[in-house]
Amino acid sequence: MDFLIMLLAAAIASGTPLLIATLGGILNERAGIIQLGTEGIMLMGAVTSCLLYLRTGSLGLALLAAAGVSAALGLIHAFMTVSLRANHIVTGLAMTLFGTGLSAYLGKPVSGQPMPAPVPKVNLDFLDGVPVLGELFAHLDVFTWASFALAVLLHLLIHRTSWGLHLRAMGDNPATADVMGIRVQLSRYLYVTAGAILIGLAGADLLLVYSPVWNEGMTAGRGWIAVALIIFARWNPLRALLCAYFFGALDSLGFRIQLEGTAIPSYFLKMIPYVVTILVLMYLGWRNRGKPSGSPEALGSPYIREQRL
Amino acid sequence: MNAIPAVDMRGIVKRFGSVTANDHVDFQAAKGEIHALLGENGAGKSTMMCMLSGVYRATEGEICLNGKPARIRSPKEASQLGIGMVFQNFRLVQTLTAAENMVLGEKGSLWRGRGWLKRKSREIEELAARFGLGFPVDRPIWQLSVGEQQRVEIVKTLYRGADIIILDEPTSVLTPGEAEQLFATLRQMRAEGKTIIITTHKMKEVMSVADRISVMRKGRMIASLAKEDTDERELARLMVGKEVVLERKERGEAGTEPLLAIRRLKAAGHGGRQALDGLDLTVNRGEIVGIAGVAGNGQKELAEVLNGLHEWKSGEIEFDGKKWRNASVRDTIEAGISHIPENRMKSGLAGSLALTDNLIAKSYRSSERSSRLGLLRGRANKSWAAEQVERFDVRTPGIDTPVRMLSGGNQQKLLFAREIAREPKLLVAVHPTQGLDVGAADSVHRMLMDLREAGSGVLLISEDLDEILQLSDRILVLFGGRIIGELKHDEADRAVIGMLMTGMREAAAAAEAEQVSSPDRGKKEALV
């Protein structure tokens, strides 16, 4: 029982940055833009917040700076893919390489320095005596609560508002959205930028909450996992919540097993989440064969009104 | 027309790069009429209508609506001016429901909860019912039939308050019955004072539904006539610029030497149902056998089995004196079977490849096309391709042009060039003139006749009864995966075939004094 609760708590802790990054990715892809720059934008978000937090000691400024830098990266991605009609995949990969390199350079002076203060927690003392719930939810940090709220809010936005309707239409069939009077290009800019901000904040969360020391390449592939989680969650924010925690649990499972002391080499234990991803994707692909994948139809294709088809 | 026209487009010029799609075109439509814009594929009809609906912007010229100059710079502005367009390829988001598709872009509150959507759905249902247009409002579009999707599109324009409604090739996707229903709706919309413009290349429709007819040819406006003052023959002449004969083709005796014999063929369809259910069929050398039938009765599977694209479960196929087991696509190509598939851009041609590459797609293995090491003989292939383009009269900017840049008719001619240049023993042609204009359809028909004269067999699968009657030596009617009627071309009667197509064998037999020859089994199904 204890093991299970520890695992769940660890799942939430390591799942939160994944969740925020996945939500950002969902916003991008729902608008029809593939975002493979996740890893790079997360790293840039992490290193910016680290630098600002160490220098000013203000959490607010650190977050603002992370949001600003990732918004800039998002704008570049939008300009490349929407206006210049560059290939989304190449642009995204370039973004990741760029972000990885630049963050390593910027972070060099602060590498290994611990953060001045931990992120504030929301203490729900009345839950303290309650089994399970108390252990899981009584002392979570603000970011984690914010990510819950964000998943729910995005779900409502996408499925219950006119903006969401337009977003879905734009990702599935921009030509239709256009004749219905939706400004496709402008909206795509907005969603790509908003999505990039979330991805950058996911990096900040990773650094400020999960492992509060900057290391070069500290995301360790989490950006790529977030990309896979988008598909896993079938572009749905609430499913993303479950998938991110599932993945977070797998991530910490290897660690826990190691602590128990087994003969399995740690390299194999670290593989668990990735092997399970492949297996689950295979299973889902097989189970949903013949059904629409849920992927936005126009994902990855530019839209120009006068182009002849 | 004395009154101010609802739509008045003057001196419209539209250029795409160096191509001029519309060259100083004038177009007027009066309020409350059904106006048909007639023309071949590529005549510039759709381009004109796209400018009226704000998708394209005119290079030159002006548009007046109800006498007032209008500036239409985007679809949004067109919609605000009361113009709605039903595109040939529907503009519907497949994953959204019909109701959601209609409220897209609608101003109002941000919150779109279930209750709000329910209210809107009811409103839309009422509107649809008023025009006799039924469709499920709360199922995603991809689950609706093509006819239903078109109804969604029409109601969408009405819902958005359009007074001028444009339909681009509205019947190209409909069955004859659905088309009749559509025309009834259009008449009702006219009665409510809407101005309706349809673009089409089908003469029959024009005569049955339009009040006025404008004819376009090669980007120019040729004539604008009232229906009473013209007839099909004149319109056809105006449209293609020359007389087109719509009569049965002259021919010699059909061959009698059997080429293809199919016995008791059974095959499963894509959905797992029995698509071919004991089908018997023979095709002789030098004979065109027409397969009539409503789509979905096994036509697709039959064509695919013969081209190695589909497995069959039981039965026998004998081709050119040899028994077949499940053959691969390559086997059928080498055996001398050519295929004109249903959808030329999906399984016929590779859109982004050049003409040459498409032309050699089935013969590239031969020693004339590639050397022994497998390298293509580039220069020889190009000059051969140029010859074929010349021979089959494919109009193209060059043989290095990607095929998707050609018009539909030229694509089809190119496809025929590839399939016929191989001198096939058998050609399986599925809907070979679908979406083609009169001129291109005519040259396709001529190619089929030439092939017959050369001693090849042709299996013509088509939904177009005129085409079948014009070309076939024998007509077989396919229903429920088997042949339920066979008619010689001289005893073929449209009404009888029509009844057989819907499975009414006994009624057909009664209608025709003499017995229609066909196998005995199948009688049970015939009553379905």
pLDDT digits (tens, 9 = 90+) for B115-155: 888 898 999 999 998 888 888 888 888 888 878 888 999 99
Of A69-78, B233-242, B314-323, B511-520, the poorest mean pLDDT is in: B511-520
The answer, for A66 touching chain B at a CB cutoff of 8 Å, is: no
CB of B470 within 8 A of CB of B302? Answer: no
Pick the CATH number of A2-287 from 2.60.40, 1.10.30, 3.40.50, 1.10.3470: 1.10.3470
Closest Cβ opposite residue A176 in set B53, B91, B111: B91
Residue B242 has pLDDT above 70, yes or no: no
Mean pLDDT of all residues in B362-385:
86
The pLDDT confidence band at residue B18, using thresholds 50, 70 and 90, is low
Of A31-45, A118-132, B228-242, B244-258, the poorest mean pLDDT is in: B244-258
The answer, for B89 touching chain A at a CB cutoff of 8 Å, is: yes
- What are the structural domain ranges in chain A? 2-287
The pLDDT confidence band at residue A60, using thresholds 50, 70 and 90, is very high
The answer, for A180 touching chain B at a CB cutoff of 8 Å, is: yes
Residue B516 has pLDDT above 50, yes or no: no
Among A20, A23, A100, CA closest to A63: A20
Contact A173 B93 (CB under 8 A): yes
Output phi, psi for A179, to 5 deg: -70, -15
Residue A8 has pLDDT above 70, yes or no: yes
Residue A287 has pLDDT above 70, yes or no: yes
Mean pLDDT of all residues in B3-31:
88
CB of B141 within 8 A of CB of B98? Answer: yes
Q: Could you tell me which residue, A118 or A44, shows the higher pLDDT?
A: A44
Of all residues in chain B, the percent with pLDDT exceeding 90 is 33
- Could you tell me which residues come within 8 angstroms of residue B328 by beta carbon, excluding any fewer than 6 positions away? B308
Of all residues in chain B, the percent with pLDDT exceeding 70 is 91
Distance CA(B422)–CA(B424), nearest Å, equals 6
The pLDDT confidence band at residue B213, using thresholds 50, 70 and 90, is very high
Residue A256: C-alpha distances to residues A132, A213, A266, B258 (Å): 19, 21, 11, 76
B-chain residues near A161 (CB < 8 A): 110-112
The answer, for B112 touching chain A at a CB cutoff of 8 Å, is: yes
Distance CA(B403)–CA(B460), nearest Å, equals 25
pTM of this structure: 0.72
The pLDDT confidence band at residue B514, using thresholds 50, 70 and 90, is very low
pLDDT value at position B528? 33
Distance CA(B85)–CA(B78), nearest Å, equals 9
pLDDT value at position B62? 92
B-chain residues near A177 (CB < 8 A): 93, 104-105
Residue B452: C-alpha distances to residues A88, B256, B422, B427 (Å): 51, 12, 14, 10
Contact B108 A162 (CB under 8 A): yes
* Per-residue pLDDT tens over the stretch B307-339: 888 888 888 899 988 888 777 888 889 889 999
Average pLDDT of chain A, as a whole number: 89
Q: Alpha carbon B120 to chain centroid distance?
A: 34
Of B174-178, B348-352, B482-486, the poorest mean pLDDT is in: B174-178
Q: What is the DSSP string of chain A?
A: -HHHHHHHHHHHHHHHHHHHHHHHHHHHHHTT-----HHHHHHHHHHHHHHHHHHH--HHHHHHHHHHHHHHHHHHHHIIIIIS---HHHHHHHHHHHHHHHHHHHHGGGTTPBPSSPPPEEE-GGGTTSTTHHHHHTEEEHHHHHHHHHHHHHHHHHHHBHHHHHHHHHHH-HHHHHHTT--HHHHHHHHHHHHHHHHHHHHHHIIIIIS-B--TTTTTTHHHHHHHHHHHTTT-HHHHHHHHHHHHHHHHHHHHHHHH--SS-HHHHHHHHHHHHHHHHHHHHHHTTTS-----TTTT----TT---
B-chain residues near A236 (CB < 8 A): none
DSSP 8-state code for residue B432: T
Of A208-217, A251-260, B90-99, the poorest mean pLDDT is in: A251-260
Distance CA(B426)–CA(B322), nearest Å, equals 14
Residue A308 has pLDDT above 70, yes or no: no
User: Any bridge partners for residue B426, and if so which?
Assistant: B337, B457
Name the token pair of A254.
């290897």
Among B261, B264, B282, CA closest to B274: B264
A-chain residues near B96 (CB < 8 A): 165, 168-169, 172
- Could you tell me which residues come within 8 angstroms of residue A174 by beta carbon, excluding any fewer than 6 positions away? A32, A184, A298, A303
Residue of B nearest to A184 (CA): B105
Of A44-53, B7-16, B160-169, B290-299, the poorest mean pLDDT is in: B290-299
Q: Which helix (H) or strand (E) holds B278?
A: strand B274-284
Contact B55 A305 (CB under 8 A): yes
A-chain residues near B74 (CB < 8 A): 178, 181
The answer, for A153 touching chain B at a CB cutoff of 8 Å, is: no
Mean pLDDT of all residues in B295-300:
80
Most confident of A47-61, A128-142, B88-102: A47-61
Mean pLDDT of all residues in B30-58:
88
CB of A254 within 8 A of CB of A13? Answer: no
Most confident of A245-249, B201-205, B397-401: A245-249
Distance CA(A7)–CA(A2), nearest Å, equals 8
Name the token pair of A234.
């079938």
Q: Could you tell me which residue, A270 or B379, shows the higher pLDDT?
A: B379
Residue A1 has pLDDT above 70, yes or no: no
CB of B63 within 8 A of CB of B9? Answer: yes
Residue A237 has pLDDT above 90, yes or no: yes
B-chain residues near A169 (CB < 8 A): 93, 96, 101, 104
Contact A306 B109 (CB under 8 A): no
Contact B89 A161 (CB under 8 A): no
pLDDT value at position B159? 92
Mean pLDDT of all residues in B391-412:
85
